Each structure stands twice: as C-alpha cells, then as structure tokens.
Structure 1
Amino acid sequence: MATQIITLVGVLIGALTSYLVTVTAERAKFRRTMATRWDERKLDTYIAYVSCVKEIHRAAMEAARARDNGEDAAEALARMEAKEDKRSVLFETFVLLADESAAAAAHTVNQRTWDLLTKARDASNGLHAMRAVTLVQALNTLHEAARKDLAITRTGPLG
C-alpha cells in the first residue's frame, strides 16, 4: 500500500510540474507574441508619422523655392496643409503607442513643424527663413528615441 501511495504522489508531482511548466511557457509565448504585435504597430506608426513630417518639410521648402523664383506657391502650400492634417491624426496614434522619451521627442518635432508651417504660410518668407527652422535636428532626436523604444541597435557608423 505504501508503494502505491508513493507512486501516486510521484505521478501527481509529475503532472503538477508538467502543468506548471506548460502554463509558464504558454504565458511567455503569449507575451512575446503581444510584444511583437505592438512593436510592429509602433514601427508602422513611427514610419508613417516621420514620413508625413518629411513631406510637410519638402512641400514647405518647395513653396519657399517657388516664392524665391517668383512663381506661384499655392500648389506646394496645399500639399503642405493636407499633410499637416494627416500628421495631426498620426500623432495621436504615435503618442498612444510610444514610450515617454519618443512621445516627448515627437512633441518637439510637432513644435518645429508648426514653426515651419507658420513661416511657410507667410508669403514674405523664402528658403532662407525655412532653413532657420531646426526640424531636422528634432527628427534626428526622434529617430534615436524610436530606435531605443523598439530596441533597435546600430551595428555600425552612419554613412
């Protein structure tokens, strides 16, 4: 009878151990899956936001260049305004998904973008005024924060 009890206890301990290991492994797998899912969503959002800001910058520079050449800047300004509307919407998703550092960097990018928009909307400003806005520096800071948030490491020098 004692051997049967010992065998039964051994079977129960084995079953319990197997169950706990399986549950732990499944939880870890679920967490990895969720982290990957959100990282993919973050990356897509970061790319869309930064691309939109770059398109605003490009359109503002085109408008300024047109003014400097005595041409009509209306088309470039219309593209710039449309992209600004899109950037505003993308920013909300960005802030929801980003960590604190990336969100703070995005707020700075927003401020620099607004500075650029203000200058671009002023018909008296040309390329010189546009170049005074430090948007590129703010974007570089955002890139660093986004890489850190996504745990992307650099393997070599920029070039």
Structure 2
Amino acid sequence: MATQIFTLVGVLIGALTSYVATAVAERAKFQREMATRWDERKLDTYIDYVTCIKQIQRAAMDAGRARDQGADASEALAAMEESENRRSVLFETFVLLSNEMAATAAHAVNQRTWELLNTTRVPSNGTAALRPIRLVEALNVLHEAARSDLTISSGSSAG
C-alpha cells in the first residue's frame, strides 16, 4: 500500500511539475508574441510619422522653388497641408505607442515642422526663407530615440 501511495504522489508531483513548466513556457511565449506585435506596430507608426514629416518638408521646398521661379505654389501648398493633417493624426498614435524619450523627440519635431509650415505659408517666402536644418536635426534626435525604444543598435542617421 505504501508503494502505491508513493507512486501516486510521484505521478501527482510529475503532473504538477509538467503543468507548471508548460504554463510558464506558454506565458513567456505569449509575452514575447505580444512584445513583438507591439514592436511591429510601433515601427510601422514611427516610419509612417517620419515619412509624413519628410513629405511636408518636400512639399514646403517645392512651394518655395515654385515661388522662386514665379510659378503657382498652390499644388505644393495643398500637398503640404494634406501631409500636415495626416501628421497630426499619426502623432497621436506615435505618442500612445512610444516611450517618453521618443514622444519628447516627436514633440520637438512637431515644433520644427510647425515653424517650417508657418514660414512656407507666407506667400512671399521662397527657398531662401525655408531652412529645414532645425527640422533635420530634430529628426535625427527622433531617429535615435526610436531606435532606443525599439532596442535597435544605434548607427549613423541621415536627414
């Protein structure tokens, strides 16, 4: 009888150990999958946001060049405003998904973008008035913050 009890206890301990090990492994797998899913979503959001900023910058420069040549800048200005509207929406997702450092860097990018937008909106301003250098510098800081948030090793960034 005692050997049967020892056998039964051994089976119960083995089953319990197997259950706990499986539960711990499944939980770790689930957490990895969730982290990967959110990192993919973050990366997509970061790329979309930065792409939108670059579209604003290109459209602003196109408007400045059109003015320098005495041409109509309305098409470039419309593209700039459309990209600005999209940037505004993307920024909300960016802030929801990013860490504090990336969100702070994105706020600085917004400030520089607004400066560029306001300068471009002045009808007499051509390319000489548009200086996207501060925007490029802010984007470089954002790139670093985003890489850190996504735990991507740092390298050189291009503006």
Q: What's the TM-score once normalised by structure 1's chain length?
A: 0.94
Distance in 2 (alpha carbons) for counterparts of 1:46 and 1:98: 9
Alpha-carbon deviations, 1:16-39, whole Å to 9, x = none?
100000000000010011111111
Contact between 1:45 and 1:94, CA under 8 Å: does it hold in 2?
yes
1:44 is matched with: 44
Equivalenced residues, count:
158
Instruction: Say if 1:46 and 1:73 are closer, same or farther in 2 by CA, change over 3 A.
Output: same
Distance in 2 (alpha carbons) for counterparts of 1:9 and 1:120: 79
1:145 is matched with: 145
Runs of 4+ with deviation above 4 angstroms: 156-159
Contact between 1:52 and 1:83, CA under 8 Å: does it hold in 2?
yes
Contact between 1:60 and 1:120, CA under 8 Å: does it hold in 2?
yes
RMSD, aligned α-carbons? 1.5
Cα offset for 1:115? 0.4
Report the AA paired with residue 80 of structure 1. M
1:118 is matched with: 118
Distance in 2 (alpha carbons) for counterparts of 1:6 and 1:76: 82
2:69 is matched with: 69
Report the AA paired with residue 35 of structure 1. A
Report the AA paired with residue 65 of structure 2. R
Cα offset for 1:92? 0.7
2:89 is matched with: 89
Contact between 2:109 and 2:142, CA under 8 Å: does it hold in 1?
yes
**% identical equivalent positions:** 70
Distance in 1 (alpha carbons) for counterparts of 2:80 and 2:90: 15
Distance in 2 (alpha carbons) for counterparts of 1:11 and 1:129: 80
Report the AA paired with residue 47 of structure 1. I
Distance in 1 (alpha carbons) for counterparts of 2:62 and 2:93: 28
2:127 is matched with: 127
1:60 is matched with: 60
Report the AA paired with residue 40 of structure 2. E
Distance in 2 (alpha carbons) for counterparts of 1:18 and 1:76: 65
Instruction: Say if 1:40 and 1:130 are closer, same or farther in 2 by CA, change over 3 A.
Output: same
Report the AA paired with residue 113 of structure 2. T
Report the AA paired with residue 100 of structure 1. E
2:23 is matched with: 23
1:32 equivalent in alignment to 2:32: yes
Q: Is the partner of 1:35 in helix, strand or coil?
A: helix
Cα offset for 1:132? 5.7
Distance in 2 (alpha carbons) for counterparts of 1:132 and 1:158: 16
